[in-house]
Amino acid sequence: MADDTRAALDALIRDSGEDYSSISRLLGRNPAYIQQFIKRGTPRRLAEEDRRKLAAYFRVSEQSLGGRIAAQTRAPRDLVPISRIEVGASAGPGGIAEIEEHGPSIAFDGALLRDLGARRPSALSIIRVIGDSMEPTLCAGDDILVDRSSTAVRSDAIYVLRLDDMLMVKRLVRPGVGGLPFVIRSDNPAYADRRDYEPRSVELIGRVLWCGRRLSQPRERS
């Protein structure tokens, strides 16, 4: 049964275009958690809460991930469409600040959104990351779920912000220096902290709650 669960989860991750580390982060676990479960059998069974989140995210029954048959009797969860904003939030030098252009919506499970701390679906947006300054946490092409109602700074959280007419995604770290409210930080050590900004020029768009990543497809051999 445990081997079947690991194989089923591995197939779901592969088919969805996600990877082990992104699903581990979805569960609030360390990046290697899911890989260790699938490849090494550690832990031997998924925790009930982890199984519930995974079943909700992949929209499958908990039984298919090792849950009891009784779990199938639960009422189906609601799906909440979240609008995609086509203009990317730069994880590099910055992008154009306009964010009004919308693309196709992505449906999220309502229970998953609540687990992520989102209380107002109307304040959520999906934005695609460009640039490499937030690697390895966020990579170019990642989709991030942004809560535009969450603009109070939590130290070490990641935000989409507007600075000098640029839209960017950065980690904000308190305390700031030289009278600044926070340090604007890139996770990629090749990029220096930003400590030379005018506080009034910074507009917080929202906090990043989740990211999704599509795996690159292997090239076909000729």
Contact 197, 163 (CB under 8 A): yes
Report long-range pairs for 191-195 (Cβ below 8 Å, ≥24 apart): 191/133, 194/163, 194/170
Determine the pLDDT at residue 89.
61
CATH of domain 79-212: 2.10.109.10
Counting as low any pLDDT under 50, the low residues of the chain are 70-76, 95-98, 222
Topology given in CATH for the domain delimited by 2-73: 434 Repressor (Amino-terminal Domain) (1.10.260)
pLDDT tens-digit map of 152-206: 999 999 999 998 888 899 999 998 888 899 999 999 999 999 988 999 889 999 9
Global pTM exceeds 0.85: no
Determine the pLDDT at residue 87.
59
3-state DSSP assignment of residue 149:
coil
Cα separations in angstroms, 68 against 7, 21, 43, 52, 135: 17, 26, 18, 11, 39
> What are the residue ranges of CATH 2.10.109.10 in the chain?
79-212
> What are the residue ranges of CATH 1.10.260.40 in the chain?
2-73
